[in-house]
Amino acid sequence: MNGFIKSTKEINQIVIIETDGYLNNEGGIAISTICYEKIDMGQTKFLINMAGTKVVNSIGVSILIEIIEKLQEVDGKIGYYNLAPIVSKTFNIMGLTKYSTVFETEDEAVNGL
């Protein structure tokens, strides 16, 4: 587990990845590496707990777009929760919220994905 990925767990067949720190290119790749491994193993639902990520850049977020695209091939879904307001706003501006879902809490995310 690298420093950016704080933990991974599974609830109700949903893979939950908890991040910590700056979502830049390396952070994005760390998330996508886990997602692609899990997709290869048959998982199709993913949540990112971004409580520890207060800063992002568009390069890191672009990698989330790549994950969304990959998940479309397997009829999968991705969502996010515990977002800082500026992270949520960035996701809106870039259009991620058209293809994935932002939730407030883990309970809401697990039940709503």
Q: Can you give the binding site for another protein, defined by CB under 8 A?
A: 22, 24, 55-59, 61-63, 65-66, 68-69, 72, 84-86, 89-90, 93-96, 98-99
Q: Residue 15: how many CB atoms within 10 A of its CB? A: 21
Nearer to another protein, 97 or 111 (CB): 97
Q: Which is nearer to another protein, 69 or 104 (CB)?
A: 69
Nearest distance, CB of residue 8 and another protein, angstroms:
23
CA distances from 111 to 14, 16, 103 (A): 10, 13, 10
Query: Which residues lie closer than 8 Å to 111 by C-beta, 6 or more apart?
Result: none
Give whichever of 16 and 48 is closer to another protein, judged by the CB atom: 48
Give me the least distance between CB of 84 and another protein, in Å please: 7
> What is the closest distance, in whole angstroms, from the C-beta atom of residue 82 to another protein in the complex?
15
8-state DSSP, 38: H
Find all residues with CB under 8 Å of 83, minimum gap 6, and list them.
Answer: 50, 91, 102
